[in-house]
Amino acid sequence: MQNNLSAKTILFISYNNYTKIFTMSKKLTKRSEDYSKWYNELVVKAGLAENSGIRGMMVIKPYGYAIWEKMQAQLDKMFKETGHQNAYFPLLIPKSYFSKEAKHVDGFAKEAAVVTHYRLRTTSDGKDIEVDPTAKLEEELIIRPTSETIIWDTYKRWIQSYRDLPILVNQWANVMRWEMRTRLFLRTAEFLWQEGHTAHETREEAIAEAEQMINVYADFAQNFMAMPVIKGVKTESERFAGAEETYTIEALMQDGKALQSGTSHFLGQNFAKAFDVKFLSKKGKLEYVWATSWGVSTRLMGALIMTHSDDNGLVLPPKLAPVQVVIIPIYRKTAQLKDITVKVNEIIAKLKAKGISVKYDDSDNYKPGWKFNEYELKGVPVRLAIGPRDLENNTVEVARRDTLTKEVVSMDGVDTYIENLLHDIQQNLFKKAEDYRNTHITEVNNFDEFKDVLENKGGFVSAHWDGAPETEEKIKELTKATIRCIPFDNKPEEGIDILSGKPSKQRVLFAKAY
Amino acid sequence: MQNNLSAKTILFISYNNYTKIFTMSKKLTKRSEDYSKWYNELVVKAGLAENSGIRGMMVIKPYGYAIWEKMQAQLDKMFKETGHQNAYFPLLIPKSYFSKEAKHVDGFAKEAAVVTHYRLRTTSDGKDIEVDPTAKLEEELIIRPTSETIIWDTYKRWIQSYRDLPILVNQWANVMRWEMRTRLFLRTAEFLWQEGHTAHETREEAIAEAEQMINVYADFAQNFMAMPVIKGVKTESERFAGAEETYTIEALMQDGKALQSGTSHFLGQNFAKAFDVKFLSKKGKLEYVWATSWGVSTRLMGALIMTHSDDNGLVLPPKLAPVQVVIIPIYRKTAQLKDITVKVNEIIAKLKAKGISVKYDDSDNYKPGWKFNEYELKGVPVRLAIGPRDLENNTVEVARRDTLTKEVVSMDGVDTYIENLLHDIQQNLFKKAEDYRNTHITEVNNFDEFKDVLENKGGFVSAHWDGAPETEEKIKELTKATIRCIPFDNKPEEGIDILSGKPSKQRVLFAKAY
């Protein structure tokens, strides 16, 4: 559907060169040559997303969206299992709502897309359209960059008594932040996400909720995305605008850069105070409501791609692959295809009975070699190839995407074999990413070591920090590294700050980050 | 969570008056008194949606959203079964894209929300924020009212050859049309919808697709919403802006007004020409691509509510009810509740095994009478009540929401009984709505009869029309009735137009409409 060669070109290529040309056009820049270029090419060539005609905004293509749908479905299930319900709030937020929480508006004002008019009209020469100046809004509306303000304006109507609490609501939505430098999935002006917004009677309950949700995110990242993450707390300067505490999950990409993959915020009573949301407690006292918010976005697509993929293309963990198994017939004559198809249909029925998604690509537009490359590029975890000799021998060739290895196995019990294989692949991907991550957490004890690791090895650098935002800022200026988090499982340890030399009570994790 | 009495008031009401007060506050205006008021009250009180602080924009509350999610899930399944994939396109569309298809821009320019700036800044006194005039967009961006233009701009990149066709893509998204007079679900400035956009090699294939999708919509309306619809073609003046032909499903509400519930458009080559999208055909010729688009929105929520609900509240067809069965224990002593709960858990397990969603409301905040009213208001199809006497007699009281009738049935096989009952309720709701609709299609043969039926009976009026847009317009001016559609199954019939007296070849369906 979306190949890069124009039809005109194709018509003048003889059939024999077909495979070769297509293969070439699909070939990616190597990661070792230019990681960033590799990523951009992969996203486009694997049919995941592409830039639209509008600055910073992407089109999520069907294959990319199918992966996002798998993520959504699983996350939604986990949210519901933890007692949350979905709802939907307005896209546009009056400018005055933003001003109500001081830090919040500071955080988002600089990237706000502003609606000022509500009508177009024909120009006086009748040839074009223009904004109708008579249709100016009294108050400008902002396209939500996040929905705390509109939601707390709503919660004011919903909450009077402790009986109305907790409110455990999530929203699946698009949001907009006018980023200047954008990259597909990782940083786009518009992105898709979910944002949970909860309201509670007590501080403790709200903190427990925020912690629960960062655990849900970590569970999802590790067990579905096969992506190891470090759970921790953000420093003040990396905190969400308006939060008292931000929890984060941090992943490590193959180029040694960290990627913040999900955050959960304990908002204290900040938004309740900004929007005057009080409740009558069990003791009959009027008190401000406690809040959390938490979100993950289509950025996770970028994380997924960069964690596992290789120079041949995408590598998908089976649990999130839209197609888990692709079957390709190898044949010369139509009669052979017929026989193969009979056998394939048996296999498909067995796999489907096990809940495994299968695609049988018996199209005759392309040769098997082309198809092999195509599904490798698209990251399908398992490929089966079946030819006339396999029929004779009652075998099938099984190729796994993660290791690029092949095996010929017996047709008997192939469904169970594949079921186990998918499980193995899921585990292996996690293990591989975890090994990489674990060998890329480096303890350093002075600033030279710190810089050396950042420049030559990459990954997380575990170093002492004196706790001062100024030191953190200085380190960022000098090295571009930021404190990704203070891990939850950190051990107290006396030391001295790598830059300031001041006393420190614990190590924190630095890294260059996306 | 969202009651209308403030907590402060409640505290001064003695426990005995609790039920009564709540019941009163939940009481709806009768349909016969003021249908419109009844609708607005029902939407809010049943917890479906409410107005936000922003003109014309609604908050879809958790219970309303849960119903919408059920609709989405079923529709999405039907789209995928007919070969469609989901994708996502940018929210913002450059103004110039709109101008490319002349009729399209005419149709949507007057209700376009326009983004003109991309940054806010602090005012010079430091006390407020304002739009930053230096951050003005070179070209204004429109929040999508529908996505044909941005999608066909994208399809130009995706389509070169017949091999790239068909493209069968759907998008779930929010859209915005700046309506002046809004009503919850029925007409809001922002609404949620899906929009299918397909590209084809031939006119015939595109028409077949547009027809297929109106059939999918009709299937969904009738078999899931239990809402009878008439399938037909729109007249030119009611056609989608940019379409060659618009197919529609039209439903009839209980107040005798019609509601357009879904449309599917054959777009011809209009958008392909506007965006210069050509493909190399099998014969080696460059041709413009043929297109369709089709959509349904949260407006369906309004249709669902108005088709079945009564003066006691919402009535939901079992297939779309978030909770299909509610179980309420009737007890005085805690020991009784314990015994009841043991029995209830057995029933729940059996119902869940049959895929039936159940809620057991054993909360002690409210008395059974309050709960009965609450779940009636929320339209839960089946209510079970179990008390100590039921335990003795091995019985359970089963109440159905659609007929408001109760029966005491044996606990043995109650799961099968309920399974059948849910099926019956689904059928009964459709039958009831169909009977109402069928008795509200009235054939008339002159303009006096026409006006009389519209004013005193309502519903669809089947009348001869001469085919002229001017006559249609005149009838609308005089009576507010519009031609809802020319039904697919219309029979040719010679006659004379009810207003102009000119010859007519067929009857069409008129109605006042939402």
pLDDT tens for chain A, residues 1 to 514 = 344 433 333 333 333 333 344 444 568 999 999 999 999 999 999 999 999 989 999 999 999 999 999 999 999 999 999 999 999 999 999 999 988 988 888 889 999 999 999 999 999 998 889 999 999 999 999 999 999 999 999 999 999 999 999 999 999 999 999 988 999 999 999 999 999 999 999 999 999 999 999 999 999 999 999 999 999 999 999 999 999 999 999 999 999 999 999 999 999 999 999 999 999 999 999 999 999 999 999 999 999 999 999 999 999 999 999 999 999 999 999 999 999 999 999 999 999 999 999 999 999 889 999 999 999 999 999 999 999 999 999 999 999 999 999 999 999 999 999 999 999 999 999 999 999 999 999 999 999 999 999 999 999 999 999 999 999 999 999 999 999 999 999 999 999 999 999 999 999 999 999 9
Intervals of CATH 3.40.50.800 along chain B:
320-425
Q: Beta strand B120-122 with B129-131: parallel, antiparallel or unpaired?
A: antiparallel
DSSP A397-453: EEEETTT--EEEEESTTHHHHHHHHHHHHHHHHHHHHHHHHHTTEEE--SHHHHHHH
Check: CB of residue A53 under 8 Å from CB of residue B94. yes
Residue B14, CB-side half-sphere exposure with 13 Å CA sphere: 2
Estimate to the nearest angstrom the gap between the alpha carbon of A55 and the chain centroid: 21
Determine whether the interchain pair B110/A95 forms a contact, defined as Cβ–Cβ distance below 8 Å. no
Determine whether the interchain pair B59/A90 forms a contact, defined as Cβ–Cβ distance below 8 Å. yes
Residues of A in contact with B129 (CB under 8 A): 95, 98-99, 105, 109
Three-state SS at B304? helix
Enumerate residues 6+ apart whose C-beta is below 8 A from A345.
none
Question: Model pTM?
Answer: 0.94
Q: Which residue of A22, A50, A91 to mutate against B (max B Cβ within 10 Å)?
A: A91
Measured between CB atoms, which of B53, B109, B190 is closest to A153?
A: B53
* B67: nearest Cα among B430, B313, B384, B318: B318
Residue A323 structure tokens? 């197609």
Determine whether the interchain pair B122/A109 forms a contact, defined as Cβ–Cβ distance below 8 Å. yes
B297 bridge partner residues: B193
Predicted confidence at residue B4, as pLDDT, reads 41
Determine whether the interchain pair B110/A117 forms a contact, defined as Cβ–Cβ distance below 8 Å. no
Q: Which residue of B114, B156, B168, B185 to mutate against A (max A Cβ within 10 Å)?
A: B114
CATH class of A63-93+153-307: alpha beta
The whole-angstrom separation of Cα A124 and Cα A21 is 53
The reply to whether B116 touches chain A by the CB within 8 Å rule is yes
Predicted confidence at residue B265, as pLDDT, reads 98
Q: Which residue of A has its CA nearest to B179?
A: A118
Enumerate residues 6+ apart whose C-beta is below 8 A from A47.
A1, A2, A61, A62, A63, A64, A378
Strands (E) in B208-366, as ranges, are 230-233, 245-252, 258-268, 278-280, 286-288, 290-297, 325-329, 358-360
Residues of A in contact with B68 (CB under 8 A): 88
Intervals of CATH 3.30.110.30 along chain A:
441-511
The reply to whether B51 touches chain A by the CB within 8 Å rule is no
The reply to whether A370 touches chain B by the CB within 8 Å rule is no
The reply to whether A67 touches chain B by the CB within 8 Å rule is no
The whole-angstrom separation of Cα A275 and Cα A360 is 56
**Percent helix, strand and coil across chain B, each rounded to 5?**
40, 30, 35
Estimate to the nearest angstrom the gap between the alpha carbon of B231 and the chain centroid: 16
Check: CB of residue A105 under 8 Å from CB of residue A98. yes
Q: How far B84 CA sits from the closest chain A CA (Å)?
A: 9
Determine whether the interchain pair B111/A117 forms a contact, defined as Cβ–Cβ distance below 8 Å. no
Residue located via tokens 């619809």 = B229
Determine whether the interchain pair A7/B121 forms a contact, defined as Cβ–Cβ distance below 8 Å. no
Measured between CB atoms, which of A50, A57, A154 is closest to B92?
A: A57
The whole-angstrom separation of Cα B479 and Cα B456 is 12
| DSSP H stretches of helix in B224-292 | 270-274
What does each C-alpha distance from B479 to A497, B187, B448, B469 come to in angstroms? 81, 22, 11, 15
Q: How far A171 CA sits from the closest chain B CA (Å)?
A: 10
Predicted confidence at residue A106, as pLDDT, reads 86
Residues of B in contact with A5 (CB under 8 A): 160
What does each C-alpha distance from A449 to A463, A471, A499, B41, B112 come to in angstroms? 10, 17, 11, 68, 57
CATH class of B320-425: alpha beta
Enumerate residues 6+ apart whose C-beta is below 8 A from A285.
none
Predicted confidence at residue A15, as pLDDT, reads 37
Three-state SS at A252? strand
The whole-angstrom separation of Cα A478 and Cα A471 is 11
- Residues in chain A, overall count: 514
CATH of A323-424, one of 3.30.1330.120, 3.40.50.800, 1.10.1520.10, 3.40.50.2020: 3.40.50.800
The reply to whether A417 touches chain B by the CB within 8 Å rule is no
Three-state SS at A42? helix
Determine whether the interchain pair A95/B140 forms a contact, defined as Cβ–Cβ distance below 8 Å. no
Cα four-point dihedral sign B362, B366, B369, B371: negative
Q: Beta strand A325-329 with A382-386: parallel, antiparallel or unpaired?
A: parallel
Estimate to the nearest angstrom the gap between the alpha carbon of A196 and the chain centroid: 16
* B377: nearest Cα among B309, B429, B428: B309
The reply to whether A153 touches chain B by the CB within 8 Å rule is yes
Residues of A in contact with B197 (CB under 8 A): none
With a cut of 50, which residues of chain B have pLDDT below it? 1-24
Predicted confidence at residue A103, as pLDDT, reads 85
Does this complex have an ipTM over 0.90? yes
Q: Which residue of B88, B119, B323 to mutate against A (max A Cβ within 10 Å)?
A: B88
Strands (E) in A81-145, as ranges, are 85-86, 92-94, 114-117, 120-122, 129-131, 136-143
* B404: nearest Cα among B443, B367, B376: B376
Determine whether the interchain pair B93/A54 forms a contact, defined as Cβ–Cβ distance below 8 Å. yes
Check: CB of residue B85 under 8 Å from CB of residue B76. no
The reply to whether B201 touches chain A by the CB within 8 Å rule is no
* B167: nearest Cα among A1, A8, A50, A7: A1
Predicted confidence at residue B25, as pLDDT, reads 56
Q: How far B24 CA sits from the closest chain A CA (Å)?
A: 19
Residues of B in contact with A163 (CB under 8 A): 7, 365
The H or E element that residue A168 is part of is: strand A167-176
Check: CB of residue B43 under 8 Å from CB of residue B185. yes
Measured between CB atoms, which of A11, A52, A119 is closest to B110?
A: A119
The whole-angstrom separation of Cα A91 and Cα A151 is 11
The reply to whether B126 touches chain A by the CB within 8 Å rule is no
Specify the CATH architecture of the domain B63-307.
Answer: 2-Layer Sandwich (3.30)
Intervals of CATH 3.30.930.10 along chain B:
63-307
- Tell me which CATH code domain B441-511 carries: 3.30.110.30
The whole-angstrom separation of Cα A427 and Cα B482 is 62
Determine whether the interchain pair B119/A141 forms a contact, defined as Cβ–Cβ distance below 8 Å. no
Q: How far B108 CA sits from the closest chain A CA (Å)?
A: 9
Cα four-point dihedral sign A28, A29, A31, A34: negative
The whole-angstrom separation of Cα A409 and Cα A184 is 40
The reply to whether B58 touches chain A by the CB within 8 Å rule is yes
